[in-house]
Structure 1
Amino acid sequence: MAVRTFVAALADQAALVALVTLTAHTVGTAVVERQAPGPVTITTLLVLVTVRALATWREMDLSHDLAYRVLAELRVRVFDGLARSAPARIRGRRSGDLASAALGDVEALEFFYAHAVAQLLASAVVFGGGSVVLAVLEPWLLLPVLPVAALLALAPPLESRGRAVRGARTRAAAADLSAEAVESVDGLRELLAFGALDARRERLRAHGRALGEAQRSEQAWEADAAAVRDLLVVVAVVGVVLAAAHTVAGAWAPAAMALALGVLAPVADSAAALGQAGGLRAAAARVGAAVRAPAGAPAPAAPRPLPGGPLGVRLRGVRFDYGDRAVLDGLDLTVRPGETLALVGVSGAGKSTCAYLLARFWDPASGAVELVPESGPPVDLRDLAETDLRGAVSVVGQDAPLFHGTLAENLRLAAPDADAAAFAEAARVAGVDRIAADLSDGYQTRVGERGTTLSGGQRARIALARALLTRPRVLVLDETTANLDTEGDAAVSAALKDGAHLRTTVIVAHRPSTIRRADRVAVLEAGRVVQTGTWAELVAEGGAFARVLARG
């Protein structure tokens, strides 16, 4: 498609140069020699007009088709890059900023793919061919053309640094405004409730003004650059007229001038396109960084098969940090197949990090996270194919998001082909069947973006049911029941006992009633497991567990 676009652009520009040259010659013949154009000339002019019109349409059609195909592919690759590197890459970044990279920056590159690539190549060919013709007809006409063409061609790279800076400022301001707008819409109820809407509106105005200033600065420079290009073309026009007046006579004088300026016009247009494309370097850099984002958990070169039956969990000598601080420091922990373990500790002790490692959102800096079958050697998570890992391990967080769809669609997210019996069982265990019974359209009720039509407790139950529907052999609950009241927490815990011997459950919790129901408790402190035992044993022992309960 890129080749076809180039051919269409070449035909478009070549037909235009030929058309203006032949038209100038026809007018010159009529004025100087007082001869009307003959049938061949008229037919040629009509053919050139037709070719130009068709080539222009074809070039625009192909170039935009190519651009939109590239953008569609880039959007997918940006999303894949974010998914591949999540949550490390998106940790701490605002959703509006991510949306700007995934949509706004990609969309900005449409100009480059639609208007720059084929046009640059076609302009180079037309200029080269026209210059050869001029050199044969009258070399002196090249004297004013070549220096201007060189200046037009050199201007974009010489001013590229300034364009890149201004473009980066505009893209950054657009991303900031996008982030502020998304956050404002998401937090509209809180802004209204606390009377902070006016202050937030002023923040949006300030970001809007910053974007406007960046855009004005960029466009002002573009206007100045366009004026300089026009001035250079005028200089070339004057030079060509002076050269033609002394070297070319008769009807060929206007034709030679038209040819000289005709080969220069595409160079000027290409310089303008290349200059505007230079301002997109910041957008291209952001898109490129997302596309090339390294995987937080690279796929294994030769995946190992996962044994059947119940699976335990083992973290062996695990060290992990977020770059600025160590979170886990030589952690050792084993959860036997079919066991329910409560993982406790003060805030920041590394409990959620353990859940992330079990989901393989990250890999440990050292040590290993393994699945341990009842018989046979353990399997490192780094040796498992993605599908095998996701089929065996499910992690449910405290704020597991729901999507703008029906309740049934959200439940079937990870298991779209689950049968009706499995669907009903997962809903029953998590108490979602009672939620559906109270909704107007049952399981076909739309829950709203991020589940805004539901309470926190309802969202937690739905997230739990979604995980149970995959029938995981290892279930990790990271404060999943924190949004449930005591009665709801007890009901879910009781329901989870159904089939508990067939799966290993790790519960990150603060609530004493939740911890008490676990078969065993592990206490994290300073990045290590410092105590393990049953509730009764640890209460009697005191120490770190007692400090956790006191702070809870």
Structure 2
Amino acid sequence: MSANPATNPAAPAPRVPSGALRALLPALAGHRAMAVRTCAAALVDQAALVALVTLAAHTVGTALLERAAPPPAAVAALTVLVLVRAVSTWREMDLSHDLAYRVLAALRVRVFDGLARSAPARIAGRRSGDLAATAMADVEALEFLYAHTTATLLASGAVFAAGTAVLAAVEPWTVAVVLPVAALLAAVPLLDARTRTERGARVREEAARLSAEAVETVDGLRELLAFGALDRRRARLAERGRALGAAQRAEASWEAGAAAVREALVVAAVAGTVAVTAWSVSAGRLPGAWAPAVMALALGILAPVAEAAASLGRAGSLRAAAARVGAAIGAPALAPPPRDPRPVPDGPLGVRMRGVHFDYGGAPVLTGVDLTVPAGRTVALVGASGAGKSTCAHLLARFWDPARGAVELLPGDGPPLDVREAADADLRRAVAVVGQDAPLFHGTLADNLRLAAPDAGDADLRAVARACGVDRIAAHLPDGYATVLGERGATLSGGQRARIALARALLARPRILVLDETTANLDTAGDAELAAALAADAPRRATLVIAHRAATVRRADRVAVLEEGRITAEGTWAELAARGALSRVLPGA
């Protein structure tokens, strides 16, 4: 078992790029007015507190020395300051959290947009729990940055500057005490910024790992129970929990130490201010009644600086979360949208792969594939596992772009259209890909069927459902088409999910249909039934069928054999069988 970075001090911390927090500050630009109001409320809040403690100290000092009740004006001023402080505190908290949650809502959308833009290439191999941690937990962690950092820093700086000017006018020597302490308070979070970032990165990494393990455990609970592996899985979850706890304890311990340093600096400032003030009073430089006010003012302007330093330090530990969010938002698209999209022609469409080369960053997968599926025809693509058949399906749907060559739409009239020149929305309406494990969502059966055609009428939905045998599935569900299927269709069998996925694609009426082992979970009778449903509308679309079942392949108009990254044979079933071209790649041929 590999060493855990959270429990092994020698393990390198995850690398976090510099400027990750700064890169997310522009998210406030869309909420300038609210950000300004938040900063104003924070400024009033901190200024009212400093004025309140200073005036209260002066009033008490005057009353003790002069043995007289405070004047009505002082009492009135204190009352007003208490009310202003209460209202501004409430207002600042209300505005800052309103602002933060608005920004987080926008960030979540941008994260999902980034994941969608880079899918499936940049999320392939990543665990769903890790992606969920970025989309939800990492974004949520940034609430502290937007709600408690920016406004606090600005307000603390303004209050400290104004308070220092007043101190300099009343007793300049107190400034000699306050300024060095304030500088040290500000320097502490900057000096340990790197170690804070490393500890924050370990916490975020371990949280993502625990999230991934938990999601996979819940998804595979039936299999874990069936194979008696639940105890081992529970042990893995406990290990991940301990690793996260160790990372969090290390971060909390360091933060506690930093807080102790801040408190010690403030205490030192208080002691220094008392000494300077006492000397100033004894030397006749400062009236005795003003001494408590000067000490209160010095402490009052340092307290926001200490709070700002704590906020800055905690924000530093969020760099890892900011980096993960920023990476998701800025993920480049491997199939970028065209600058000047061309419309997809109306009418029947065929599709052609011309000299297509492709690899996943390693060994080549496709090395010059030439394949044409004419409009109104069905072509079966066969090959050994790993030959690149699913890659062809993904290229036809433009999940990736080929390294060389082109994927083209073939209209009945007019020149071919490279899919890289088509608008994404038009391409999605024209091309549908149904895989072996097409996911269903936590919604009703009708909602899942209407995923690609939300405006489809009930009559069309039921006609397609009847053709694919989904009507029989609905008849056995407690609420028919209104039955909630559960996440990923957990209440259905693999064959039932395949029928629903195919019906969902057909309801959208695509002009190019790609079936990637769609019927693999069906028995022979079910496969034949869905083949009949496909045959009814086959003349109005081009259909590419990827399959290992001989009976499925035999129904195609033509068969193409994919070997060693290229099409090595193409023809009818009878022609290829006679030549022995199918026996190497298709069992039972």
Question: Which of the five TM-score ranges fits, normalised by the shorter chain?
Answer: over 0.9
The one-character-per-residue Cα deviations of 1:458-488 (angstroms, maximum 9, x if unpaired) are 0000000000001000000000000010110
CA RMSD of aligned residues (A): 1.0
Tell me the secondary structure at the aligned position of residue 55 of structure 2: helix
The alpha carbon displacement at 1:425 in A equals 2.2
CA separation in 1, counterparts of 2:92 and 2:566? Answer: 64
Which one of the candidate residues 386, 410, 417 is aligned to 1:379? Answer: 417
Say if 2:382 is the partner of 1:355. no
The alpha carbon displacement at 1:300 in A equals 1.1
Equivalences for 1:76-91 in 2 at 5 Å?
76-91=109-124
CA separation in 2, counterparts of 1:293 and 1:86? Answer: 10
Map of 1:250 onto structure 2: 288
Map of 1:179 onto structure 2: 212
Say if 2:322 is the partner of 1:284. yes
Equivalences for 1:112-191 in 2 at 5 Å?
112-191=145-224
The one-character-per-residue Cα deviations of 1:90-136 (angstroms, maximum 9, x if unpaired) are 10011110110000101111111111110000000000111111111
CA separation in 2, counterparts of 1:444 and 1:253? Answer: 76
Which one of the candidate residues 466, 480, 489 is aligned to 1:442? Answer: 480
Map of 1:337 onto structure 2: 375
CA separation in 2, counterparts of 1:512 and 1:305? Answer: 38
Map of 2:537 onto structure 1: 499
Q: Report % sequence identity.
A: 71
Q: Which residue identity is paired with 2:414? A: G
CA separation in 1, counterparts of 2:138 and 2:344? Answer: 41
Say if 2:547 is the partner of 1:547. no
Map of 2:233 onto structure 1: 200
Deviating 4+ runs (over 3 angstroms): none
TM-score, length basis structure 1: 0.99
Q: Which residue identity is paired with 1:142? A: V
Q: Which residue identity is paired with 1:168? A: A
Check conservation: 1:30, 1:36, Cα contact below 8 A: yes
Check conservation: 2:197, 2:317, Cα contact below 8 A: yes
The alpha carbon displacement at 1:550 in A equals 4.3
Map of 1:301 onto structure 2: 339
Check conservation: 1:19, 1:45, Cα contact below 8 A: yes
Tell me the secondary structure at the aligned position of residue 101 of structure 1: helix
* Range with bigger deviation, 374-383 or 46-55: 374-383
Say if 2:524 is the partner of 1:511. no
Between the two proteins, the alignment pairs up a number of residues equal to: 551
Map of 1:326 onto structure 2: 364
CA separation in 2, counterparts of 1:420 and 1:231? Answer: 72
CA separation in 1, counterparts of 2:513 and 2:127? Answer: 29
CA separation in 1, counterparts of 2:197 and 2:373? Answer: 54
The one-character-per-residue Cα deviations of 1:395-431 (angstroms, maximum 9, x if unpaired) are 0000000011111110011101012332122112211
CA separation in 2, counterparts of 1:330 and 1:481? Answer: 28
CA separation in 2, counterparts of 1:267 and 1:491? Answer: 74
TM-score, length basis structure 2: 0.92
Equivalences for 1:444-483 in 2 at 5 Å?
444-483=482-521
Check conservation: 2:378, 2:542, Cα contact below 8 A: yes
Tell me the secondary structure at the aligned position of residue 366 of structure 2: strand
Q: Which residue identity is paired with 2:564? A: A
Gaps of 5+ in 2: 1-33, 281-285
CA separation in 1, counterparts of 2:421 and 2:333? Answer: 15
Say if 2:570 is the partner of 1:537. no
Q: Which residue identity is paired with 1:398? A: Q
Which one of the candidate residues 9, 34, 40 is aligned to 2:67? Answer: 34
Q: Which residue identity is paired with 1:266? A: P
CA separation in 1, counterparts of 2:531 and 2:443? Answer: 28
CA separation in 2, counterparts of 1:419 and 1:189? Answer: 37
Q: Which residue identity is paired with 1:280? A: L
Check conservation: 1:314, 1:370, Cα contact below 8 A: yes
The alpha carbon displacement at 1:325 in A equals 2.4
Check conservation: 1:346, 1:551, Cα contact below 8 A: no
CA separation in 1, counterparts of 2:355 and 2:317? Answer: 49
The alpha carbon displacement at 1:441 in A equals 1.7
Map of 1:57 onto structure 2: 90
Tell me the secondary structure at the aligned position of residue 320 of structure 1: strand
Map of 2:133 onto structure 1: 100
